[in-house]
Amino acid sequence: MRSTFRILFFLKRDKKKANGNMPIFCRITIDKEEARFGIKKDVNPSIWDVQAGRAVGRTSEVVEINSIIDKTKSALFNALTLLLSDLKGLAMLYFSALFF
């Protein structure tokens, strides 16, 4: 059986703040089951690249946001590696419990 694992970072457009920024969320999909969580960071939608799932530019804010995204992605892949070595398969319930 083949398992799938996807990570997507996106803006929660229905939670727009007064200053125009929107919170960044992460969606993890494992075999068509998904979990979502906020990374506790807001970004102006004008600097967000939807295709890349990252902020665009060279400002300190962009560097900080992209660093948080990279660290989150790394932590998720590390958790997946642990699960694969321990469980020899994927299950959203176990993955969610380990990371959250």
Predicted local distance difference test score (pLDDT) of residue 17: 92
Nearest to 12 by CA among 41, 33, 52, 55: 41
Predicted local distance difference test score (pLDDT) of residue 100: 61
Q: What DSSP string describes 29-81?
A: EETTEEEEEEEEEEE-GGGEETTTTEE-SSSHHHHHHHHHHHHHHHHHHHHHH
What's the pTM value of the predicted model, to 2 decimals? Answer: 0.81
State which residues of the chain have pLDDT below 50: none
**Token pair 């929660």 is at which residue?**
12
